[in-house]
Amino acid sequence: MDRRTFVAGATAALAAAALPPPASAVVPKPYDWNATPPMDDRQAFIDWMVANRGEDPLYLGQRYDRFLQLIAHNDVWNDRNKRAYLMTPREDFVTKPNLSRAYEWHYLDIGYGVSITGPHTVMRMTNTIDPQKGERVLEVGTGSGYQSAVLANLTDQLHTIEIIKPLYERTGGVYADLIAQGYTEYQAIQRKNDDGYYGWEEFAPFDKIIVTCGIDHVPPPLLQQLKPGGVMVIPIGPPGAQHVLRIDKTQQADGRFTIARSDIYHGSIVNFVPFTKLVEGKIVGTHSN
Amino acid sequence: MAPVDDHTLTDLDGTDVGMAVPRLFGSVGLLAGAVIALQIAVMRVFAVGSWSHFGSLVVSLAMLGFGLAGVLIYAAGGWLDRHGRAAAGVALVLFGPLAVAANQIAQIVPFNAVFLVSDPMQKWRLIANFLLYLLPFLAGALFLGMVFRQERGRFNRLYFADLVGSGLAGVAILGAMHLLVPERLLVAPLLLWAGAVVLWFGARRRLWSLVGAGLTLAAYLALPGLLHLPALAVSQYKGISYARNFPDARRLYRSVSPYGDLQVYASSYMHFAPGLSDNAAFNVPELPPDSYVGLYLDGDGPSGIMRQIPAADTAYFHYLPMFYPYVLKPDARVFVTQFGGGLSAMTALNAGARSVTVAEANPEVLRAFRAPTLRAATGGILEDPRLRAVGLDGRLYLARTLDRFDVIDLSLADSVGLSNPGGFAVIERYAYTEQALMTYMRALAPGGILAVTLWNKEEPPKSVLRFYATAAAAARRAGGDPARSFFVASSYLSTTTVLYKRGGFTAAEVARLEKQTADLSFDEVYAPGYAFDPNLADGILAKYRASVFGDGTSAASGDAPADDASAAPPGDGASGAPAPEPSTTLARLAWHEEMSRGGPGALADYVFDIRPLTDDRPYFAGYVHPGDLGRTLDRLDVLQDDWGYLLLWATLAVAALTVVPLIMLPVLLGGRRTVAEGRGLAPVLVYFGCLGLGYITVEVGLIAWFARALTNPTISAATVISGMLVFSGFGSLAAERIVTRARQILPVLLAAIALALAALPLVLPFALATLGTLPIALRLLGTIALVAPPAFLMGFPMATAMTWLGQAGRERSFVWAWAINGSLSVVGAAAVPLVAVLYGLSAVLYAAAAAYGLAIPAFLVLASSAAPLTAPLPAPT
């Protein structure tokens, strides 16, 4: 075994050991597409989630606090997407050293030079493509699996591709554990270990595509596999300052396709900075004050 | 060992203390060389393993070891009279093992810049890296400081050995970079250290010295393999790490040199098409999966190298932004200012260019393209009969050639553009300055087109606005009608292309460029006669400011732009012509102002500093206005593009905060009168502080200046450092001739230095323009010839005054002065790039001149407080 292989293997083993152990609790009630947790009261939310999902109140509280900031920053703006956020245990997708920061604004390292995107960007992208149940969604860059887990609360036609094999396998283990605990919605996630540049021809065309890896151009195969009228989102820029590029594909009367690039906020200048501070569940000011 | 005191110093010829002079000088020179070699080697380790500007931060702070050593030596005081030589020996011995241990441990606890903000552990790791690397530098500084103290009566001669040793090591490590890969580069400082140890301990302990040095080297080379540790931990977030993660990746090529660690990887998972239009998806057949290999420099990249693609696929090039000039000039004589991965050259050839001249300043890139192992991957592009490659910087070549070109291309010289997770180092970008653009414009044939493509991935935009201002300024100075000479198109969050036509575009040409823009679905930013709608730009500057420095509550309060999103949530499909993106509107506003007002106009109020790049301020960095710096701390994520610059402020702050206690500690330990030995503190502080600041300012400043002619920062650094230190060494040696007359001569010398430095900004632009056109060997010699005269003079003040303090028996002031000098060097090194970014490289030299000027009154006060020195100097040996 040469050194690089050894180092890579050792890194993978270490990274796997770094993952949090699966939560001991088992989801008490089967997944229900129509069940929605309370959104306007922190304690009610926690109680509902403990009763229906069996999750840890500590993380539920953090999830709710972040939820208020997501709303304050317009990173999520409709109830289906709000529900998807609230129903997804982000703490199960971060590595152990980052558990205490699972619900912070930032992106976090998950190994292999890959990060789990911050909750604001994840929800901004999710709500932008706003998949309807039954719509076919392709995700390029499975990474931690968190983005797909959120999407699994919006559609049951979900396809995701990861290029890095050990990461693909590790995330597969995370899903398997969660499914075993009762997160049956993740069974709908179809995954493969491949080069996402070429999309997933077998399931094309897609209503929505979400790309979470950096590249110097938008892969033409993905543009081809996007349905006319479909939407694609791609975060651009360094991890912390990612701007979300929205791409709309339309078909003209003469049959030609046109591609329009825009910011997801339709020409508004986005507030980049997550300054709002929470005190007892209320947004009270900024770090600067 | 005989105690050494001031009275015996003057008649020391080396044998008295049991060591021959050549051995003493040799070990000082070699260890000083080892220190500088270690500095450069550690910088290379950071450049390859993570990001070079964090290396600068760690290394420049590690040099605080010199200030700290001064304090420790001061505190040891008289103890060193008896044990100084033994203590120096211990410090010397420790340098090597500490360097090896620090470097190895740093590889186990690597620091990851990407998570500096989000992961609180990272700042501790950064501090750990600094403390680790501080150790060998502290050991080296202790050795040198203790030897200097011991031999203070002939300081100037030892200082000569120190400076010449450092200078020659600069050359040596440049050579070593050809032989040693970065993960083995510490061999160079370790060998220099081993030489110092062997000389110092002499024949009686030669065996032990050799065994110890050998074991240290063996440990450096073998420990990673034995313990399964990385010899050099490469961040998983470096471009090259991704390539290595691809299952079919294989390395085709590697070369190491001062030009960097160049590696080429092949993998079917690599896809390049920088700035490719989205419309290519429906108009171009898919390229074969193995069309590319990736070129990485110091692990950064990739730059795509493309195989020759089938004739049927050449439509691909039509959809690249660098194709623009060929819409008007299909059979052009083309000049490509930076060959890089060859995509611009290939685009020109495929567009039907009559001839293509490519310039590449990095000879290793051309060598790679000619390597047999890469022939297939590069499509043998260099053998194309229409192509001619010149191994020179494009700008320097165009400045001297009499050839004129129909198209001059400067495209996406940086591989992946502005998405470097560690932010960008503050480096000189002489290819993009106003003067560079004027050179390109002059090299255009009548009707010729200059085409520059840049990444347009920043939001809010920064570098593109800076470049727009630069291009407009260059056109105004080049003559003609700028308003008719530009066509600018960009793609949102992708690229922007600026076309400049000598003599101006005709209406028909504008129409063809507009059609190309429509074909590519790019946004027109400026064209002759473009009607700008000022209403669209209403309030845009204030909104951009609020988006970066506003308080986050505005988003919730209802008056923020982001609130539009909830009013009209995205996803409702296209209805009519969409409003342009704010960044596009801003770019249009910038061009409108430049063309209608001849300057930035309203853009002067933009949230970021977007003044044009000039040869004096050649930086795509330092966008945050100084007045906003205090607001950056809680929004560093947003400002990642500018981290390289912000880190410099952090370095300066840490250095300044550390230096004050370091300098004041001796005063607190011994009391004011003790340190000054009955005389004023201020003259010593000001005089040696000014010398420390002044010298390093010239050194770091000239490295930046000469990068223009030497085209590579590493080569510039090694040449300037070597030239300056060696000639300052000779100045130091000659200083003993003026010690007894210092009060009369030194002020004149200091004034001469200040004048020479102040004159340099007037002389250097012309000198560098000439120098830049010469072959590399002459350029190196010319650099040394230019730095030699001021460097020689700058060798006098420190050596004269220190020798004088030593001979006057002011041992405490001597040590304190040495600590002050070392500490302020660190502050100066951190301040130089900031002064350069804010005020320009000329200002750096003026600041240095001022420091030497300020040293004159300080010296006069210092000298007046002492009895005239009449003691004879040591006889030359």
Closest approach of chain B CAs to the CA of A105, in angstroms? Answer: 8
Q: Which residues in B lie closer than 8 A to residue A73 (C-beta atoms)?
A: 552, 555-556, 562
Closest by Cβ to A264, choosing from B284, B570, B582: B570
Residue B97 has pLDDT above 70, yes or no: yes
Contact B286 A285 (CB under 8 A): no
Contact A112 B554 (CB under 8 A): no
Residue A5 has pLDDT above 60, yes or no: no
Contact B457 A271 (CB under 8 A): no
- Quickly state the pLDDT bin for B824 (edges 50, 70, 90): very high
Which range (A98-112, B381-395, B537-551, B761-775) has the least confidence?
B537-551
- Quickly state the pLDDT bin for B291 (edges 50, 70, 90): confident
Asked whether the beta carbons of A49 and A60 are under 8 A apart, the reply is: yes
Tokens of B664: 């004041």
Closest by Cβ to A272, choosing from B491, B548, B565: B548
So what's the pLDDT on residue B569?
41
Residue B553 has pLDDT above 80, yes or no: no
So what's the pLDDT on residue A270?
55
So what's the pLDDT on residue B81?
87
Please tell me the distance from the alpha carbon of residue B651 to that of residue B57, in angstroms, as a whole number. Answer: 6
Tokens of A17: 């050991």
Return the residue of A nearest to B557 by Cα. A72
More confident residue, B753 or B873: B753
Whole-number percent of chain B with pLDDT over 90:
56
Q: Which residues in A lie closer than 8 A to residue B419 (C-beta atoms)?
A: 214, 236-238
Question: Span B855-872, mean pLDDT?
Answer: 72
Residue B820 has pLDDT above 50, yes or no: yes
So what's the pLDDT on residue A258?
87
Closest by Cβ to B565, choosing from A7, A256, A268: A268
Task: Give me the architecture of the B250-526 domain, per CATH.
Answer: 3-Layer(aba) Sandwich (3.40)
- Quickly state the pLDDT bin for A216 (edges 50, 70, 90): confident
| HSE of B777, CA atoms in CB hemisphere, 13 A | 0
Residues 64-123 in A contacting B (C-alpha not used; CB under 8 Å): 72-74, 77-78, 97-98, 101, 104, 106-109, 111-115
- Quickly state the pLDDT bin for B536 (edges 50, 70, 90): confident
C-alpha distances (whole Å) from B817 to each of B32, B667, B796, B812, B851 are 19, 12, 15, 8, 16
So what's the pLDDT on residue B172?
93
Tokens of B233: 């931990």
Closest by Cβ to B574, choosing from A215, A248, A286: A248
So what's the pLDDT on residue B205?
87
Residue from A114, A268, A284 to probe the interface with B (highest B Cβ count within 10 Å):
A268
Asked whether the beta carbons of A104 and B117 are under 8 A apart, the reply is: no
Please tell me the distance from the alpha carbon of residue B56 to that of residue B703, in angstroms, as a whole number. Answer: 14
CA dihedral A45→A51→A52→A54, nearest 10 degrees, is 100
Which range (A162-171, B54-63, B466-475) has the least confidence?
B54-63
Return the residue of B nearest to A163 by Cα. B246
Closest by Cβ to A217, choosing from B247, B274, B574: B274
More confident residue, A61 or B418: A61
So what's the pLDDT on residue B866?
57
Contact A108 B119 (CB under 8 A): yes
Q: Tally A–B CB contacts below 8 A.
A: 252
Residue A9 has pLDDT above 80, yes or no: no
Return the residue of B nearest to A72 by Cα. B556
Closest by Cβ to A266, choosing from B115, B278, B564: B564
Write out pLDDT tens, residues B337-369: 999 888 899 999 999 999 999 999 888 999 999
Residue from B117, B517, B523, B581 to probe the interface with A (highest A Cβ count within 10 Å):
B581
Helices (H), chain A: 3-18, 42-53, 57-72, 79-86, 119-129, 146-151, 165-181, 220-225
Closest approach of chain A CAs to the CA of B280, in angstroms? Answer: 7
Contact B553 A263 (CB under 8 A): no
Whole-number percent of chain A with pLDDT over 70:
81
3-class DSSP state of B260? strand
Please enumerate in sequence order all residues whose Cβ is within 8 A of that of B733, keeping only pairs 6 or more positions apart, or say none. B156, B157, B160, B795, B799
Please tell me the distance from the alpha carbon of residue B11 to that of residue A243, in angstroms, as a whole number. Answer: 72
pTM of the model: 0.89
- Quickly state the pLDDT bin for A162 (edges 50, 70, 90): very high
Contact B638 A240 (CB under 8 A): yes
Contact B117 A240 (CB under 8 A): yes
Please tell me the distance from the alpha carbon of residue A178 to that of residue A187, in angstroms, as a whole number. Answer: 10
**Angle, helices B187-201/B155-179, rounded to nearest 10 degrees:** 140
DSSP helix, strand, coil percent of chain A (3-state; round to 5):
40, 20, 40
Q: Go through chain B and tell me how many residues it has.
A: 877
Q: Where are the domains of chain A?
A: 3-285
So what's the pLDDT on residue B811?
85
Start and end residues for every CATH 1.20.1250 domain found in chain B: 1-235, 631-877
3-class DSSP state of A43? helix
Tokens of A74: 């317009």
Residue B380 has pLDDT above 90, yes or no: no
Closest approach of chain B CAs to the CA of A53, in angstroms? Answer: 29
Give CA B627 to chain center in angstroms: 24
Contact B550 A271 (CB under 8 A): yes
Return the residue of B nearest to A166 by Cα. B245
In the beta sheet, which residues pair with residue B624? Answer: B608
Question: Span B139-150, mean pLDDT?
Answer: 95
Question: Span B167-184, mean pLDDT?
Answer: 93
Please name which of A162, A168, A166, A153 lies closest in space to residue A122, comparing C-alpha atoms.
A153
Contact B118 A240 (CB under 8 A): yes
Closest by Cβ to A109, choosing from B112, B552, B635: B112
Closest by Cβ to B115, choosing from A72, A109, A247: A109
So what's the pLDDT on residue A45?
97
Closest by Cβ to A288, choosing from B420, B521, B551: B551
Contact A243 B459 (CB under 8 A): yes
More confident residue, B577 or B635: B635
So what's the pLDDT on residue B676?
62
Residue B171 has pLDDT above 60, yes or no: yes
Please tell me the distance from the alpha carbon of residue B40 to that of residue B34, in angstroms, as a whole number. Answer: 10
Contact A129 B571 (CB under 8 A): yes
Contact B640 A197 (CB under 8 A): no
Backbone φ and ψ for B615, nearest 5 degrees, come out as -60, -25
Residues 228-257 in A contacting B (C-alpha not used; CB under 8 Å): 229, 231, 236-241, 243, 245-248, 250, 256-257
Most confident of A212-216, A237-241, B487-491: B487-491
In the structure, how many helices (H) and strands (E) does chain A have? 8, 11
Which range (A73-77, A92-96, A206-210, B93-97) has the least confidence?
A73-77
Contact A261 B278 (CB under 8 A): yes
Asked whether the beta carbons of A154 and A132 are under 8 A apart, the reply is: yes
Contact A240 B274 (CB under 8 A): no
Closest by Cβ to B552, choosing from A130, A268, A271: A271
Q: Go through chain A and tell me how many residues it has.
A: 289
Contact B236 A273 (CB under 8 A): no
So what's the pLDDT on residue B722?
93
Please name which of B167, B183, B96, B169 lies closest in space to residue B136, comparing C-alpha atoms.
B96
Closest by Cβ to B492, choosing from A197, A217, A261: A261
DSSP code per residue over B27-91: HHHHHHHHHHHHHHHHHHHHHHHS-HHHHHHHHHHHTHHHHHHHHHHHHHTTHHHHHHHHHHHHH
Contact A72 B556 (CB under 8 A): yes
Which CATH number is A3-285's, of 3.10.310.10, 3.40.50.150, 1.10.240.10, 3.90.45.10? 3.40.50.150
- Quickly state the pLDDT bin for A8 (edges 50, 70, 90): very low
Check CB contact of A5 with chain B, cutoff 8 Å.
Answer: no
Residue B755 has pLDDT above 60, yes or no: yes
- ipTM summary value: 0.85
Contact B631 A283 (CB under 8 A): no
Closest approach of chain A CAs to the CA of B252, in angstroms? Answer: 16
CATH number of B1-235: 1.20.1250
Mean pLDDT of chain B: 87
Backbone φ and ψ for A193, nearest 5 degrees, come out as -95, 105
Is B631-877 assigned to CATH 1.20.1250?
yes
So what's the pLDDT on residue B480?
86
- Quickly state the pLDDT bin for B872 (edges 50, 70, 90): very low
Contact A266 B550 (CB under 8 A): no
Q: Which residues in A lie closer than 8 A to residue B423 (C-beta atoms)?
A: 238
Residues 121-180 in A contacting B (C-alpha not used; CB under 8 Å): 127-130, 163-165
C-alpha distances (whole Å) from B359 to each of A210, B564, B706 are 40, 49, 19
Q: Which residues in B lie closer than 8 A to residue A260 (C-beta atoms)?
A: 521, 574, 578
Asked whether the beta carbons of A265 and B569 are under 8 A apart, the reply is: no
Element (H, E) at B250: strand B250-257
Tokens of B702: 């000239």
Closest approach of chain A CAs to the CA of B102, in angstroms? Answer: 21
Write out pLDDT tens, residues B759-812: 999 999 999 988 988 888 999 999 999 999 999 999 999 999 999 888 888 888
So what's the pLDDT on residue B69?
93
Q: Which residues in B lie closer than 8 A to residue A268 (C-beta atoms)?
A: 561-565, 582
Question: Span A155-183, mean pLDDT?
Answer: 95
So what's the pLDDT on residue B678?
58
- Quickly state the pLDDT bin for B650 (edges 50, 70, 90): confident
